[in-house]
Chains A and B, each alone.
Chain A
Amino acid sequence: GAVVSQHPSWVICKSGTSVKIECRSLDFQATTMFWYRQFPKQSLMLMATSNEGSKATYEQGVEKDKFLINHASLTLSTLTVTSAHPEDSSFYICSAGRASEQFFGPGTRLTVL
């Protein structure tokens, strides 16, 4: 059990467009999900905590108007990168919390041209 999926697994978009990434917990309910960003050869950086039924909490330096997070149900959180720019190109990984553990999704590679 404890499987987390992400969709899409990779996406290429033009600068200025918006991209939505989905994170789903497939076999458990997660009141809290987390969004991370990982640049090449760097570690994961927590962007925000997504809480079901309430607003996300963002880490310092992360623009909430640029990275819109919606946690509409206990199994789904979405991250929308609005008006994407090439510097937003990165690997975005979500995780879902269950008890004291976090289970990571496979990640979404975003390339903005």
Chain B
Amino acid sequence: EDKVVQSPLSLVVHEGDTVTLNCSYEVTNFRSLLWYKQEKKAPTFLFMLTSSGIEKKSGRLSSILDKKELFSILNITATQTGDSAVYLCAVERGAQKLVFGQGTRLTINP
């Protein structure tokens, strides 16, 4: 059975801290791994990763994929209160079907 597992499930840090969110997967027919940020409603796209070892960056966020060890990390540096959200990891397993992890609920305290 396809499985995506995120850790930690919940994380509370102070503004300015750096956080690392983890995502491991066991999925047949892997196509890509995606990270989303979900605040109140729809998930918003952050990154799509298809190749191992190539870091993707967007401002204070970065992510990398290890296809040999079947995991990905999402880093957020110099966190701000606006980064508080649920971060979802999903793996595309063909035909654009996404298998989501449980999410990491990140809370940034001022």
Contact = CB atoms under 8 A, between A and B. Distances in A.
Interface of A: 4, 32, 34, 36, 41-46, 49, 93, 97, 100-107
B35 interface: no
A32 B42 contact: no
Nearest to B99: A46
Contacts of B45: 101, 103
Given A44-B88, A49-B96, 8 more contacts: A32-B96, A41-B105, A42-B102, A44-B90, A103-B45, A104-B36, A104-B43, A105-B42
A34 B99 contact: no
B55 to A, nearest CB: 20
B42 A104 contact: yes
A18 B79 CA distance: 44
B87 to A, nearest CB: 11
Interface of B: 32, 36, 41-45, 48, 88, 90, 95-103, 105
Contacts of B48: 100-101
A104 B43 CA distance: 6
11 contacts: A34-B98, A42-B102, A44-B43, A44-B98, A46-B98, A93-B43, A97-B96, A102-B96, A103-B45, A104-B44, A107-B41
Nearest to A9: B41
A43 B96 contact: no
A25 to B, nearest CB: 13
B98 to A, nearest CB: 6
Nearest to B43: A104
A102 B36 CA distance: 11
A4 B45 CA distance: 13
Contacts of A43: 88, 100-103
10 interchain residue pairs of minimum CB distance:
A104-B42, A43-B100, A106-B41, A44-B100, A43-B102, A106-B42, A107-B41, A97-B96, A104-B43, A43-B103
